[in-house]
Structure 1
């Protein structure tokens, strides 16, 4: 599996601190800053962004407000950020899924990740984790694939929405492992994770930030991850998917 990392970065509309705003740059920030999250509450990018903004606010001496604008695989949030006044008071925590992948899935993209935004900082990289509902008799990736090919139903894959990285990662996994599963898109990673916890969906391939709190609480089971090697970030029992599917 080669869909390894989801990069999260803060972007602002092109023109930040350019004329006519350069004169006010010395007093920046003089009011609260809004950070858009193009995903739902409880998603991995939402969680990571709130950790960063909580600390950022104390450093810059201003409130930093997180504004969730989920939808269309991140396109809605990206468009709002693009159209915002380029004064640095509106930023977006953009993953590769929202900034790059989502726009490639529509005929007429409305934004460009390089031309329409200024990159401020990359603040996270996360790996994907293969999770299953607790009521499934699956503890390893080979067992998962065997179960998937057995034809037992229901066997639904939850994602954070059509065109989201969890959707594309899951579709790629199905293609490589040669099995099929019904795709059930939700509005954000928090909702898709909750569906696996509730047993409404049987599995998902999601960022570790959205998964591991549930896994630690034994609300769902993690059985594999997307790196091609072991990682100290996860328990050693959670094996690389690449050990089964190169």
Structure 2
């Protein structure tokens, strides 16, 4: 059976930690000798920024240098990624990449000038963020199967909210409809909070949205949680089942990872992966990730590249089904 990214990640973590003490980077190396810049292509307080800052705070110790977050928001992450692409490949400018900036923006924005697979060096995944399927508590559905059956019985007369055309919640929702064979009217809003709020108010029926946008409302009883978008082997939300248990093979989650401008020395990439492994093992990081609905994950550069290739393919298919044209 092919190993999942989480099984590989666990083996990778154990291999690295088994080969050296937890803080094995105790002796300063040739790199880094000065502060490292972490380019975050998103606004402060966004999920990508939050995860980036959590990791940056913990990377400083094993690297023996400050790690400074540099927010370069704009164009759904494309602006900051381009800044990173043009930086020197010396390891002192790194990119907090995401599914939005690497898997979606190049497909939907004609102005994007970078190639996500060929213009960067892949260091490692950092986190996977499941999308969660939620509905209004008054709806007569309690799980994914019942939502699908209910939507089919209403012959398309149900509404799916999203954060806007081409957003994660839009493409994830379209992917679910395509895989499960039902239709809901897409109702786009200006941002994730408005889309989720429409489900809370009953204006729309359901949304498949990044976990941080909905978990607080689930806990307060204002939304009902039906499933998550990670694989059936993953349990990011305890007993909450994967959508894939009902819709076989369905996976559509967001991710955040570490990339560098093309030309990074392999030795620097290895040092970064070791430091990231150390950082993600810290209890404070795991607690912060859990609070933000994120699952820590590390892998090799090649495994990370394969992950991104698969994600681009999933988003390309969803964009085609949705009929969204690049602008």
Question: TM-score category by the smaller chain?
Answer: 0.5 to 0.7
**Higher percent of residues as strand:** 1
Question: What does residue 179 of structure 1 align with?
Answer: 183
Query: Is the counterpart of residue 62 in structure 1 residue 80 in structure 2?
Result: no
For residues 153-199 of structure 1, what are the alpha-carbon distances to aligned partners after superposition, in whole Å with 9 as ceiling and x for unaligned? 7724223x433333221111122332122241544x56655554565
Question: What does residue 245 of structure 1 align with?
Answer: 247
Q: Specify every segment of 5 or more residues in structure 1 that has no aligned partner in the other structure, as ranges.
A: 6-24
Question: What does residue 146 of structure 2 align with?
Answer: 143
Question: What does residue 17 of structure 1 align with?
Answer: none
Mapped contact 1:132–1:220 kept (Cα < 8 A): yes
What is the TM-score of this pair, normalised by structure 2?
A: 0.54
3-state DSSP class of the match of 2:130?
strand
Give the deviation of 1:112 after TM superposition: 1.0
> What is the CA–CA distance in structure 1 between the aligned matches of 2:198 and 2:49, rounded to whole Å?
18
Give the deviation of 1:130 after TM superposition: 1.0
Question: What does residue 80 of structure 2 align with?
Answer: 77
Equivalent residues, number: 219
> What is the CA–CA distance in structure 1 between the aligned matches of 2:193 and 2:46, rounded to whole Å?
4
Mapped contact 1:102–1:164 kept (Cα < 8 A): no
RMSD between aligned alpha carbons? 3.6
> What is the CA–CA distance in structure 2 between the aligned matches of 1:135 and 1:71, rounded to whole Å?
37
Query: Is the counterpart of residue 126 in structure 1 residue 129 in structure 2?
Result: yes
> What is the CA–CA distance in structure 2 between the aligned matches of 1:77 and 1:225, rounded to whole Å?
29
Relative distance call for 1:52 and 1:97 in structure 2 (3 A) is same
**Higher percent of residues as helix:** 2
> What is the CA–CA distance in structure 1 between the aligned matches of 2:190 and 2:207, rounded to whole Å?
11
> What is the CA–CA distance in structure 1 between the aligned matches of 2:53 and 2:194, rounded to whole Å?
18
Give the deviation of 1:61 after TM superposition: 3.6
What is the TM-score of this pair, normalised by structure 1?
A: 0.68
Question: What does residue 219 of structure 2 align with?
Answer: 216
Out of 25, 32, 50, which is 1:28 matched to?
32
